[in-house]
């Protein structure tokens, strides 16, 4: 599929069938994250795959969002190092966000769904997953077979978003 068409097709999935994600599917989603660019190519991230009995306590740490336990798996994207880039942005936030974006697109390509959670208790997620000191939970997303097909969300026209300077 054309990349732009894939991006247009992708949706945040909040309902899952609970079907297990295959090892091949999981490997491809993680590979997409591995291939993402990072500041100074440091790749200072870890992709923590959560399945089985840990999905229930992870759901609680994600503010009780049932979609976490209903999916076949979840991925917590963690930064293991952080530094301020020359532009004043956190490398942890930027790098992990790019990696999860790549994973979201690969999941869509595979017919899977993900939803970038905007609400979770990062220290609680860290405790539930027993993550090492120094790791920062940047993002969490369920990963599974969609049980819904949401309509597209409205998008602003490019004229409202793009600013052209110079010639």
Q: What is the pTM of this model?
A: 0.95
Q: Can you tell me the mean pLDDT for 29-42?
A: 97
Q: Which two tokens stand for residue 35?
A: 């291939």
| Phi, psi (degrees; rounded to nearest 5) at 85 | -75, 165
Half-sphere exposure of 144 (CA within 13 A, CB side): 26
Give per-residue pLDDT as tens, 6-22: 999 999 999 999 999 99
Res 57: pLDDT: 98
Give per-residue pLDDT as tens, 114-157: 999 999 999 999 999 999 999 999 999 999 999 999 999 999 99
Res 80: pLDDT: 97
Domains of the chain: 3-161 (3.40.109.10)
Q: Measured in Å, how far apart are the chain's first and last C-alpha atoms?
A: 34
């Amino acid at each position: 599929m054309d990349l732009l068409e894939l991006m247009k097709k992708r949706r945040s999935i909040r309902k899952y069938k609970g079907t297990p994600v295959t090892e091949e599917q999981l490997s491809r989603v993680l590979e997409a994250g591995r291939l993402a660019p990072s500041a100074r190519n440091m790749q200072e991230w870890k992709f923590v795959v959560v399945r089985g009995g840990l999905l229930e306590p992870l759901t609680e740490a994600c503010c009780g969002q049932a979609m976490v336990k209903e999916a076949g798996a979840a991925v917590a994207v963690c930064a293991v190092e952080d530094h301020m880039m020359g532009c004043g942005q956190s490398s942890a936030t930027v790098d992990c966000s790019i990696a999860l974006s790549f994973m979201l697109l690969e999941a869509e390509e595979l017919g899977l769904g993900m939803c970038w959670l905007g609400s979770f208790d990062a220290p609680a997620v860290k405790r539930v997953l027993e993550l090492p000191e120094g790791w920062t939970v940047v993002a969490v997303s369920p990963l599974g077979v969609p049980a819904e097909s949401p309509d597209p969300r409205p998008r602003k026209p490019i004229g409202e978003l793009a600013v052209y300077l110079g010639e």
